[in-house]
Structure 1
Amino acid sequence: MLKKNLRILLVEDHPFQLIATEILLNQHGFYRLTPVLTAKDALLAMESSEMPYDLLLCDQGLPDISGLDLIEEATQRGLIIQAVVFSGKAQHDLDEVARHATERGLPLLGCLSKPLFAPDLYRLLSCSESHDGADDE
């Protein structure tokens, strides 16, 4: 069963997409969300958190830095456990992002196309359960 109490930091620079993704997650029982519009705001949220976020769910094409660079910085600083990147780019571009994440040793669960398709997102989130070992609250 998919764990619903994941602490998720959602980073999307387009306000409509941010709200739509937040609603999508809420509709399926994910309420522990911190939505932000920039990598800078994401880093501020992570730095002010008492514990690492379970999941960084972020757009690859952020205006300040790439999603992958944000994941790398957050990982190096121990601010996240795992991550998912999403993008409106073509599948071969997403495959390249995943390859770079592997080369950099990043905790990337996967890359998803925008707009997000709920079953694909939930499949990746289900994978996170096998990596975290934490109990439901």
Structure 2
Amino acid sequence: MSNKSTRILIADEQHFNRLRIERWFNQLGYYRVAPVLNLEELLTLVEYGSEPFGLLIINASLGHGKLDLLDFCLNNCQLDRVMIYDGQRAQLPAIPASGQHKVQVSHALLPDLASIQRLMALVDPLRPSVGTVISVR
């Protein structure tokens, strides 16, 4: 059973990417998902949010040299956990998902369902383990 109150923020300029990631979260039982398409929307939601986001999933290219994305994510108390994907393009070092790190940096162009499941095992310990079979349609 997933924690239905986990707030998830998806930030990517590509509508298809946001939609695909949101659908994976929906398949896992998470519906408090807010997709944003640019840095300005992201900063507004994070800055003026009344409660922290349990997870931010963000394309590394969203910073476009305007923001040190890694520093922003590490030092923001409104973000409990962060996955930055396509990190190689932004020349960010790969940081694997672990209980020790608030931020995970992936060089994958887009996270897949398995990587989201592994991440959610850290974010939401109430959800089933990664080995649980989930039907994908």
TM-score when normalising by structure 1:
0.70
Instruction: Determine if contact 1:38/1:64 at 8 Å carries over to the other structure.
Output: no
Residues 1:36 and 2:36 are matched in the alignment: yes
**Higher relative helix content:** 1
List gaps (5 residues or longer) in structure 2.
126-137
Matches within 5 A, 1:44-123: 44-62=44-62, 64-65=64-65, 69-87=68-86, 89=88, 96-98=93-95, 107-111=102-106, 113-123=108-118
- Shift in Å, 1:8: 0.7
Aligned position for 2:132:
none
Could you say which residue in structure 1 is the equivalent of 2:20?
Answer: 20
Please, what is the CA RMSD of the aligned residues? 3.0
Seen in structure 2, the aligned counterparts of structure 1 residues 124 and 15 have a Cα distance that, compared at 3 Å, is: same
What is the CA distance between 1:65 and its match in structure 2? 4.5
Paired amino acid for 1:70: L
Deviation at 1:114, TM superposition (A): 3.0
1:17 Cα deviation after fit? 0.8
Deviations along 1:40-99, one digit per CA (max 9) or x if unpaired, are: 2111011221111111111111164478x3353254342211111112858xx66x2429
Q: Distance in 2 between matches of 1:18 and 1:65?
A: 21
Indicate how the Cα distance of structure 1 residues 126 and 65 shifts in structure 2: closer, same or farther if over 3 A, else same. farther
Distance 1:77 1:115 in 2: 23
Following superposition, which runs of at least 4 residues in structure 1 exceed 6 angstroms of deviation?
none
More strand by share: 1
- How far residue 25 of structure 1 moved from its aligned partner, in angstroms, is 1.2
Q: What residue ranges of structure 1 are gaps of 5+ in the alignment?
A: 100-104, 131-137
Q: State the aligned residue count.
A: 121
**TM-score using structure 2 length:** 0.70
